Amino acid sequence: MGPSRFQARGWGQERFGQHGRLLPYVQHADYPLTKAALIQAMRLRIGKTVRALKRFLLADGVKLEASSRCQLKCVVCPTAKGENRKGTIGWGDLTLETFERFVRNNRRIRHIELSNWGEIFLNPALNEILSVAHRRGIKLTANNGVNFNSVRDDTLEALAKYRFRSLTIAIDGATPESYREYRRGGDFNRVIANIEKLNQFKRRHRSRYPVLTWQFVIFGHNEHELDRARAMARSLGMNFSPTFNAEGWGPQFSPVKDRDLVRARSGIGAASFTEFREKYRRELVMPCQDMWLSPQINWDGKMLGCCVNVWGDYGNVFESSLDECLAGEKYRYAQKMLLGHAAARSDIPCVKCHFYQRHALTRTLASSWPLRIARRVLLAKAV
């Protein structure tokens, strides 16, 4: 098969990524690169930008972790290694009473992300939390990720019945053997069975929700299964979202072996976060945006600001209020510091983060004229 019209005009993968910055939004990397693929990628990028702008203007979203507990022993995860349990994050669940009080006291909040460091399905009150949110018209998501190993059937039905908006399920492999290399204690077949059950409940309740995404962290031991996993995701009615091995948590586990294969088959155009930064002069995912768009709150009310933060907090929204924490001097100073308009301060948790240490936000916001405008808007809100 010959090149598509877009390839003939020079719009191959390299140019597609560099000029439109849309490569990460393409669902797969199969050639030929068509007009339909470009349009789809543009719609996804524009849609994401519009949603972020709406969230910024309305200030109607937060991230509120349902549970910091997890039953798996994923190799490099701070939760699995017990580090989070002893620190700021702790070990526990959001209670129904606390959730009801929070949404009652913050009526402008219409979107809540429930996942962060733990597994939301370990929260015994989750079904009731879903019911309360549905009754109040609050959209719930778990896009940070779930492992989906331990989910009761009544909870699977509640996800469909109460129109839980979206779930990102971490499945790092297309076979039980590759999956358990990293997701230790997990069961690949059980996860797939739970997805199939959830799809049955979606059909029963005639709901397109939750929208499901298969997150595939690319390791050296599973890189050869990218195409197979993508096909399985499609057969299960899921989006497919490959991503890279985490950085900033010490030595990498199972680093990529065939970098050319990963560049070609991931749809991202790179083989690691570092390579992506060097190639496109920006981060794959906008860093630090939680501090403005959707502040992260711990299960016990600590205002973390960002989903990466495990080092300290900016007050407690259950003890004072959400608005007081966001308007606090420490929080506003952190925002200015992240934008490069204030010096590093030892009491700000961000100083310990690898994103801040390499000036990830300021570099990304300087990478294009729309982002330079966004930087001015973010700074204005931080003052």
Q: Are strands 211-218 and 166-170 parallel, antiparallel or unpaired?
A: parallel
Position 17 scores a pLDDT of 38
Q: What percent of the chain has pLDDT over 90?
A: 73
Phi then psi dihedrals of residue 9, to 5 deg: -90, 10
Q: Are 102 and 129 in contact (CB under 8 A)?
A: no
Say whether 310 sits in a helix, a strand or coil: coil
What average pLDDT does the segment 174-194 reach?
Answer: 97
Position 31 scores a pLDDT of 39
At residue 8 the predicted structure's pLDDT band, cuts being 50, 70 and 90, is very low
What average pLDDT does the segment 16-28 reach?
Answer: 40
Distance CA 259, CA 271 (A): 5
Q: 276 pLDDT exceeds 80?
A: yes
Q: 368 pLDDT exceeds 50?
A: yes
- Helical ranges in 221-353 per DSSP H: 226-235, 259-266, 273-280, 290-293, 322-327, 329-338
Closest by Cα among 58, 88, 210 to 143: 210
More confident residue, 281 or 155: 155
Position 56 scores a pLDDT of 55
Distance CA 95, CA 81 (A): 25
Average pLDDT, the chain: 87
More confident residue, 352 or 45: 352
Say whether 174 sits in a helix, a strand or coil: coil
What average pLDDT does the segment 176-190 reach?
Answer: 96
More confident residue, 318 or 245: 318
At residue 245 the predicted structure's pLDDT band, cuts being 50, 70 and 90, is confident
Q: 18 pLDDT exceeds 70?
A: no
What average pLDDT does the segment 353-361 reach?
Answer: 93
Say whether 159 sits in a helix, a strand or coil: helix
What average pLDDT does the segment 147-159 reach?
Answer: 98
Position 365 scores a pLDDT of 87
Which are the contacts of 208, defined by CB distance < 8 A and separation ≥ 6? Answer: 202
DSSP letter, residue 171: -
Distance CA 169, CA 195 (A): 9
Name 146's bridge partners. Answer: 169
Q: 161 pLDDT exceeds 70?
A: yes
The predicted-structure confidence for 199-219, as pLDDT tens digits, reads as follows 999 999 999 999 999 999 999
Peptide bond into 32 cis (omega under 30): yes
What average pLDDT does the segment 351-367 reach?
Answer: 91
More confident residue, 53 or 269: 269
Position 283 scores a pLDDT of 87
Say whether 362 sits in a helix, a strand or coil: helix
Q: Are 221 and 181 in contact (CB under 8 A)?
A: yes
Which residue type does 178 have?
Answer: S
Q: Are 92 and 128 in contact (CB under 8 A)?
A: no
With tokens 């039980």, the residue in question is 176
Within 10 Å of residue 257's Cβ, how many Cβ atoms? 13
More confident residue, 382 or 156: 156
Read off the pTM.
0.86
What average pLDDT does the segment 356-380 reach?
Answer: 85
The predicted-structure confidence for 25-49, as pLDDT tens digits, reads as follows 444 444 345 666 667 666 766 666 6
The predicted-structure confidence for 106-138, as pLDDT tens digits, reads as follows 999 999 999 999 999 999 999 999 999 999 999
At residue 236 the predicted structure's pLDDT band, cuts being 50, 70 and 90, is very high
What average pLDDT does the segment 274-294 reach?
Answer: 90
More confident residue, 367 or 319: 319
Position 373 scores a pLDDT of 84
More confident residue, 286 or 198: 198
